[in-house]
Structure 1
Amino acid sequence: MTQVVATTAGLFPLPDWAKDELSRLKGHQKSDLVSGDEGPEIVDAYDRARKEVVSVQTDAGLDRVSEGQLRWDDMIAHPLAVADSVETRGIVRYYDNNNFYREPVVTGDLEASGDVAGELDAAAAHVDSGLQAVLPGPYSLADLATDEHYGDEAAFLDAVADFLAAEADQFPDVETLFLLEPSLVENAPGEGADERASEAIDTVASAVDADVVAHTYWGSLDEKVYAHLMDADVDAIGFDLIADHEQNVYNVQEYGTKDDVALGLVDGQNTFVETPETIRERVEWFVEQTDGDYDTVYATANTELFYLPQNKFEAKIEALADAAAIEEVEA
C-alpha cells in the first residue's frame, strides 16, 4: 500500500492584510520589497502572517506544514540575497514568467546566515508535527546567481552547495526537506555539470536528518540529467505532472525512480481549483503507468504557490489534503 502525503512546494502568497501592511511599512509594492534587516514592525507583521499560514495548513489537514517563505521576495534566490558577501543588483526576470527578483552577485566567500533556520524556528513554535523545510536546490541557486569570486562554475556550485548545507545544518528538527530545482529543467546542465549537480544535491541532503525531496518542475528532465539525479542520495524526486506528464512518466519507466516520489498534481500558477477526486485519480494514474511500488507519494502543487490569490491558495491546499485522505493506493 502506498501512503499519500499532502504537502506543498512552499513560497506561499502573503495574506491580503499582510500585503497591505508590509507595502505601507516598506513604502513600495511587494515585488520590489527588500528582504533582510527588517525593523521591529516588519518583523512583527511577518511573524503574524507566518502564524496565519501555518494555521491555514493545519486547519486544511496537510500532512507536512511549511513555514511559507513569506519573506522570500526574491523567490528561491532569497537565501543568497540576504547572505553576507553577496550584493543584490538589478531586477531580473524569474525564469520565463512575470515575476522578478534581485540578482544576487557573490563577491566573497559564502557563509550561512541562519536566515532560513530562524524562520523555521519561528514556525516550529506553532507546529506540533510534520514541519517541512524548503530550500532552493544548489544547481538552481547557482544558476540564478552571478559569481564574481570563485571564478569557476564547478567551484561555484560546490560553494553554493556547502552554503546551503551549512544553512540546513542549523535547522530545527524537520520531517521533510524540499529542494526546489527548476533550473534542472529550465537550464539543463551539460556534460559533466549534470553529475556535479547530483553531487551538489547530495551535499545539501546529507546535512539534514530528514526525508529529502529533489523537486523539479516547469517541464521534465533531459534523460541524462534524470539518470544522474537518480544517483543523488535523496529520498524522492519530484515530477511536474501539470507541465509534462508524458515525459516524466517515460523517465520513470525507462530509468526507475526512488522508493518515494513527489508529484506535482495541482497547478500552482492557475486559479482553477482541482477536485480531490481529480488529484487522487492523477496519483493512481502515475502509479499504474510506472508500475510503482512506492512507499510514499508526496501530493503537492507543481510549483511554488506565491502566484495564486490567497483564497485560491487555500482552496488548493484543502483539495490536496482531502485527496490524501480518501484512501490508500494499492500499488
Structure 2
Amino acid sequence: MAVDVFVLGGYSRGIGARKVLREFERGGVGWGEAEAVIGLEEAMLVGVQAGAGLTYVSDPALAWHDLLRPFVEAWRGVAVGGLARFFDNNFFYRVPVFTGKPDPKYYVLAKRAVFLSKIAPRGAGVKVFMPGPVTFAALSDTSVFGGMEEAAREIARILGEEARRALEAGASVVEVAEPLLGDIDARPEHAGLLVDLLSKYFPDPSKLIVSIYYHPPSKEVAKELAVLKAQYLALDYADRPETFREAVKIACPEGLAVGAVDARSIYLEPVERVEKALQTAKELCSPDRLALTTTAPLDLIPQQHAIAKTRHLGHLARRLEEGA
C-alpha cells in the first residue's frame, strides 16, 4: 500500500532552543544569535524528516510560542492578550485581542518557506502551516466585530495571501490547521464557513492540506466538509476510531490523510494497527489519494520522542508499501 506520509504542524523544542529563547527573553542574547541556534535545531529536524522518507518536510517552527502568536505579532489591529487553555491539552496560548480590522505589517510564511527550501534535501517537498481562519477567530477576542463570521473573513483575507506568498517562495503545500472542527463546541456552520472562506480567499486547493486534530469531527460537521476542496483532509484516527469512521463515511474526501500515529503519546504504534486504520479508510470511501500522518503536531511530547515518532512514521510507510 503506497501512501504519502508527513507530520502535522511543528515540533517541540530541544534543550538548545529552549535555553537560547530564555536567554533572548531575558536580554542576554540578541535575536540574531538566538535565531542561529534555533535554525540549527530546525535543520536537524528537517533532516530527520527527510531521512525518514517523508513526502513533505514540515516546518519545525521552534520559535513559535503557539499556533496564533506569529500572525498576531505580524498584524496591526490585534494585540496579545491573556493566557487560555489550548483545547483539551495541558498547554496554553495567548488570546489574540482584535482592536480593529487586521492589517499585515509583514508576512510570516514566505520567509519560512525560503528557509526550509534552502535546508531541505533536493527533491524534498516543503510544508508550512498556519491556523485556519475559523479556529483563529474562535480562539480570539473578536468583540470589535459584528460576529465571529465577520472576524473569520478578515482573518481569511490575510491568511489566503500568506498561503499564496508561501507557495511562491518555495513551499510545496500549506497546511491549514482547524482543530476547532474536532472540538465538542464545533457546529456545522463552522465547517460551512471554512469551506466558503477557503474557496474565496485561498489559492489552488490542490496545494492545501486541511488538518482537524485532537479529535475527529462529528457527523454533523463532517457533512459540511463533504464539499471541501484540498489535496488532503487530515483527520485523527487514533483518538476516536469510531468517530473517525463516521466522519470519513460522510465527508469522503478525494484526499484523506489518516492520523494513525498518536502525537500525544510517546509509545510507538504496531504496524498492524496502522495498516488497519488505512485499510478502514480505503474501504469506507475509496479516496483518490491516501496519506499516513500524525494525529496532531508533535509539539506536546519531548523532542526525542517526537523524533522517534517521525522515524517510526517513515518506517510504517515503508512497511505498508512492502506489504502492498
1:310 partnered with 2:309: no
Structure 1 residue 277 displacement after superposition: 4.8
Instruction: Provide the aligned length of Structure 1 versus Structure 2.
Output: 317
Residue deviations 1:190-213, cap 9 Å, x none?
A: 464442232123345x32574322
Structure 1 residue 188 displacement after superposition: 4.0
Indicate the percent of aligned positions where both proteins have the same amino acid.
21
Pick the structure with more helix per residue. Answer: 2
For 1:297, the aligned partner's letter is L
Tell me which residue corresponds to 1:324: 317
TM-score (normalised: structure 2): 0.89
CA contact (8 A) 2:206 2:230 kept: no
Tell me which residue corresponds to 2:60: 68
Q: Which runs of 5+ in 2 are unaligned?
A: none
Residue deviations 1:36-60, cap 9 Å, x none?
A: xx72222222222222211121122
Structure 1 residue 137 displacement after superposition: 1.4
Tell me which residue corresponds to 2:278: 283
Tell me which residue corresponds to 2:35: 43
Tell me which residue corresponds to 1:166: 161
1:245 partnered with 2:241: yes
Of 47-56 and 314-323, more deviation after overlay is shown by: 47-56
CA contact (8 A) 1:77 1:145 kept: no
Measure the CA separation in 2 of the matches of 1:188 and 1:251: 16
1:136 partnered with 2:131: yes
Residue deviations 1:4-48, cap 9 Å, x none?
A: 1110112201122221222223239xxxxxxxxx72222222222
Structure 1 residue 78 displacement after superposition: 3.6
Structure 1 residue 330 displacement after superposition: 9.5
Of 255-264 and 77-86, more deviation after overlay is shown by: 77-86
Tell me which residue corresponds to 1:117: 110
Residue deviations 1:120-172, cap 9 Å, x none?
A: 21111012221112111111111111114333222111111111101112112
* RMSD across aligned positions (CA): 2.4
Structure 1 residue 73 displacement after superposition: 0.6
Question: Compared with structure 1, are the counterparts of its residues 210 and 191 closer, same or farther at alpha carbon in structure 2 (3 Å cutoff)?
Answer: closer
Measure the CA separation in 2 of the matches of 1:256 and 1:184: 13
Measure the CA separation in 2 of the matches of 1:144 and 1:256: 25
Question: Compared with structure 1, are the counterparts of its residues 280 and 27 closer, same or farther at alpha carbon in structure 2 (3 Å cutoff)?
Answer: farther
Question: Compared with structure 1, are the counterparts of its residues 325 and 131 closer, same or farther at alpha carbon in structure 2 (3 Å cutoff)?
Answer: same
CA contact (8 A) 1:138 1:157 kept: yes
For 2:274, the aligned partner's letter is I
Residue deviations 1:276-303, cap 9 Å, x none?
A: 4543343223323x1x433322211101
CA contact (8 A) 1:178 1:215 kept: yes
Q: Which runs of 5+ in 1 are unaligned?
A: 29-37
User: Pick from 206, 219, 230: which aligns with 1:223?
Assistant: 219
Question: Compared with structure 1, are the counterparts of its residues 158 and 266 closer, same or farther at alpha carbon in structure 2 (3 Å cutoff)?
Answer: same
Question: Compared with structure 1, are the counterparts of its residues 228 and 188 closer, same or farther at alpha carbon in structure 2 (3 Å cutoff)?
Answer: farther
TM-score (normalised: structure 1): 0.87
Measure the CA separation in 1 of the matches of 2:224 and 2:297: 24
